[in-house]
Structure 1
Amino acid sequence: MNIPAHAPLHLLHTTAVGTLATHAREPEGFPYPTVLPFAPDPRHRPTILISRLAEHTHNLRADPRAGFLVVDAPDGDVLNGQRVTLLGTFEAIDPAPEVVQRYLRYHPDAQRYLALGDFTFWTLQIERLRYIGGFGAMGWLDGAELDPLPPLGFDEESALLAHFSDYREGVGGVQLLGVDRYGADLKLNGARSRFAFEDAKLDREALHAAVEDCMRRHAN
């Protein structure tokens, strides 16, 4: 195994869309892949918003085990791009305000689906993952190895977002979507981007300084 430090974690914050593979009910036993948007939760796990009527939702209710593939190949060269395959079980979660607010920051167009009242949030409880970052950079990890640190609390993240609210609203072509101990998620001129910190930030002051540096570098 030769995986760059935190590479799978950052990848889960880089892209907006993943491939969900569930167990088909009919024909029984076949993998059923579909593509859909997701947002990373505070523990970097994919959170999806899916219709109760969708085939993959019926599949998950019958068997919550699933695979989830995330790929970052901006130049189209998939074999040399980064990708991570997550294995685990999806669980339906309550639409708490912090869950809704976070998801809508990453996918504001999802507001129209929430208004229908037919969509529910699900989060993947990761058991194992395989990361491939190019030739010689690949390997398996247990889900717990993705991030051993306690996640950034909702209040802590909200305070940072509020402090940098001008950037969150898109001033200078940059929008702050989310913050964790390893980096900041941005939207730059409409495109998703990840700013990785040099190291994990364990306290509020270090986080504030890191986000301030991020904003200063990206603001026009």
Structure 2
Amino acid sequence: MNIPAHAPLHLLHTAAVGTLATHARQPQGFPYPTVLPFAPDSRHRPTILVSRLAEHTHNLLADPRAGFLAVDAPNGDVLSSQRVTLLGIFEPVDPTPEVVDRYLRYHPDAERYLVLGDFTFWAMKIERLRYIGGFGSMGWLDGADLDPLAPLDFDEERALIEYFAQHSAATAKLQLLGVDRYGVDLKRDGERTRFIFDDAIGDTEALHAALEVCIQRHAN
């Protein structure tokens, strides 16, 4: 196994779209792949918003085991790019204000689906994952090894987002989507990007300092 530190975790924050493979009900047992947007939750798990009428939703209700593939291939060369295949269980998630707020930061256009009232959130409990970062950089990990640190809670993250907004007036086109102990997810001129910290950060003061560095580097 040869995986760069935290590479699978960062990839789940870089990709905006993934491939969900559920177990088909008819014909029974066949893989049923579909492409859909997702957002990482505070534990980096893919969170999806799906219609109750969708075939993959019916499949998950019958068998929640699934695979999920995320790829970052900006130049179109998939075989030389990063990808991660997750294996685990998808579970329904209550649409609390915290869940809705986070998902809409990553996918604001999804608000029109929430208005319909037919869409539900699901999050993946990751059991195993296989990361491929190019030739000679690949391997398996247990889901618990993706991130051993306690995640930021909603109030902590919200405070950091507000701090970022107050201190980045000079970068009006820069939006902070999410914060975790390894980096921040940004959107600039409509494009998603990931600002990776030098090291994992455990305390709030250090997170504020890391955000200041992020703002300075994106000032121009």
CA distance in 2, matches of 1:70, 1:25: 24
- Conserved? CA contact 2:168–2:215, under 8 Å: no
* 1:27 counterpart residue number: 27
- Mapped partners of 2:33, 2:59: distance in 1: 11
CA deviations over 1:147-167 (Å, ceiling 9, x no partner): 000001111100001112257
Aligned to 1:110: 110
Question: How many Å separate the matches in 2 of 1:13 and 1:170?
Answer: 25
1:78 aligns to 2:78 (yes or no): yes
* 1:188 CA displacement: 1.5
Q: Deviations over 1:35-69 (max 9, x none)?
A: 00000000000000000000000000000000000
On the 8 A contact 1:167/1:174 being kept in 2, the answer is: no
In 1, the alpha carbon distance for the partners of 2:6 and 2:141 equals: 11
**Aligned residues of 1:131 and 1:140 also touching (Cα < 8 A):** yes
**Does the CA-based 8 Å contact 2:14-2:194 persist in structure 1?**
yes
Q: Deviations over 1:4-30 (max 9, x none)?
A: 000000000001000000000011111
Aligned residues: 220
Counterpart of 1:214 in structure 2 is 214
In the alignment, structure 1 segments of 5+ residues that lack a partner are none
Q: Which residue number in structure 2 is paired with residue 180 of structure 1?
A: 180
- Structure 2 residue identity aligned to 1:114: L
TM-score (norm 1): 0.97
Q: Which residue of 2 aligns with 1:99?
A: 99
Matches within 5 A, 1:115-134: 115-134=115-134
Give runs of ≥4 in structure 1 deviating > 3 Å: 166-172
Shift of the alpha carbon at 1:173? Answer: 2.1
Contact 1:174–1:219, Cα closer than 8 Å, also in 2: no
Cα distance, 1:218 vs. partner? 1.1
Q: CA deviation at 1:172?
A: 3.4
8 Å CA contact 1:151–1:180 kept in 2: the answer is yes
